[in-house]
Amino acid sequence: MNSHIKEYLKRCKDNKPLIVSILLVIPVLVFFALGTQNKEEKKTMKLNTLTPEEERVIVHKGTEKPFSGAYYNLKTEGFYTCKQCDAPLYRSTDKFDSGCGWPSFDDEIPGAVKRIPDADGMRTEIRCATCDAHLGHVFSGEKFTAKNTRHCVNSISLNFIPIEKTERAILASGCFWGTEFYFQEKRGVLQTRVGYTGGHTKNPSYKDVCSGATGHAEAAEVIFDPSKVSYEDLVKLFFETHDPTQMNRQGPDVGEQYRSEIFYLDEKQKETAQKLMDILKTGGYNVATRLTKASTFWKAEDYHQDYYLKKNGTPYCHIYTKRF
C-alpha cells in the first residue's frame, strides 16, 4: 500500500499543490480496499470448448507432433491468442524459425505467459497467465536471436488473428497508465500502447506534453478483435472507468493533457461514440468528453508502456463505475 501512495503523490507533484494531493489520497485508499473488479471476473471467465486432441495438449500437458501444427511455418502478420480463453499471447513480430518443428517466439506480450518448473525437473513449462492453459516450454541460452529466448509452443494451443481482421481505437481519459490498464484486462483486446495525440507538436516527449504547450492528450491506442469485442463495448468501458464529467482533469491529474476525449477513426466510430454520449446526457451526466477525428498517435516513452503490468499495481485515479 505504501508504494502505491508514494507513486500516487509522485504523479501528482508536477500537476497541483501538494495539499490537494494529500486530500485526494483518501479515495485512493478506499479504492484499494474495494479491490479490482476485473481480477474477480477472470476467476469466473467462460472458457472455449476444446476438442479431445486440444484437451490432451492444453489441459493434460501433451505435445503435438513436430512439423504438424498449423502455425509452425506461418509468416503472416498478426496476433497469436490462447485457444482456451482468447487472451493475446504472442505477436508475429516476435516469431522466428528455430527449425525445431513447433512455432517459436523470442518474447511474449507483457504479462501474458507464466513460467512453471516442469515435472521432469529439467525444463520450464509455459502457460497462459489468464486461464492456465498449457502452451509448451521456454528455453534460454540457445542464441537463436538477440533475446536468447525460445518459447516452443504447440500450434494447437493457439489461435491466430491476421492484422487485417483487427480494428483500432484511440481513447483519452486522464493518466494513460490507468486508461491502458482496463483495456488490457478486456477480452478481445490484442494490444495496447500509450502515447500522445490531439495536439500540434510532432513527436512530443512526456516533458513536452506535461508543459501544457503541445495541445496533446495522454491517450491509449487499442488494437482489438471485433469478433470478440465491439468498439461500442470498448467505449462503454472507457466511460465506466473514468469520470467523463470532469473538464481537463481526472482525479488528481490536472491539465489539458488529462482531458476526456474520443479520437474516432471513421464515421461509424463517431456515430457509436456520439450515441453513447447522448445516452449518458439523457441519464443526467454533464459529459465533458470531446469527440475528435483521430490524427497522428505518438507513442510514449518505453517506461510508460504496460506501466501497471510492470509495477504489478492498479490505477490510482481510474475506478470502475457502472453507467450503462
**Which residue, of 162, 197, 226, is where some domain finishes?**
162
Q: Checking DSSP bridges between strand 290-293 and strand 113-117, what pairing results, if any?
A: unpaired
Whether residue 317 lies inside any domain: the answer is no
CB-count burial class (<10 Å; 0-12, 13-18, 19+) for 40: exposed
Whether residue 321 lies inside any domain: the answer is no
Between residues 177 and 8, the one the model is more confident about: 177
- Among 4-13, 45-54, 134-143, 279-288, which is the least confidently predicted range? 4-13
Pair (292, 185) in one structural domain: yes
Whether residue 47 lies inside any domain: the answer is no
Which active-site residues does the annotation give? 152, 175
**Which residue, of 162, 196, 220, is where some domain finishes?**
162
Residue 120 is predicted with a pLDDT of 82
Residue 43 is predicted with a pLDDT of 55
Q: Domain range for residue 87?
A: 52-162
Pair (147, 194) in one structural domain: no
CB-based contact 44:130 (threshold 8 Å):
no
Pair (25, 173) in one structural domain: yes
Whether residue 157 lies inside any domain: the answer is yes
Q: What is the pLDDT of residues 182-224, one digit of tens each?
A: 999 999 999 999 999 999 999 999 999 999 999 999 999 999 9
- In whole angstroms, what is the distance from residue 217 CA to residue 197 CA? 6
- In whole angstroms, what is the distance from residue 118 CA to residue 323 CA? 45
Buried/exposed code over 93-102 (b: 16+ C-beta within 10 A; e: otherwise): ebbeebeeeb
Residue 24 is predicted with a pLDDT of 46
Residue 25 is predicted with a pLDDT of 44
Residue 33 is predicted with a pLDDT of 39
- In whole angstroms, what is the distance from residue 238 CA to residue 100 CA? 43
CATH of the domain at 146: 2.170.150.20
Pair (97, 185) in one structural domain: no
56 has pLDDT over 90: yes
Pair (61, 147) in one structural domain: yes
**Which residue, of 138, 162, 186, is where some domain finishes?**
162
Q: Give Cβ neighbours of residue 256 (< 8 Å, ≥ 6 apart).
A: 212, 215, 217, 248
Buried/exposed code over 217-240 (b: 16+ C-beta within 10 A; e: otherwise): bbbbbbbbbeeebebebbbbbbbb
Between residues 320 and 6, the one the model is more confident about: 320
Pair (29, 173) in one structural domain: yes
The number of domains in the chain is 2
Pair (70, 135) in one structural domain: yes
pLDDT (mean) for 276-282:
98
Pair (275, 180) in one structural domain: yes
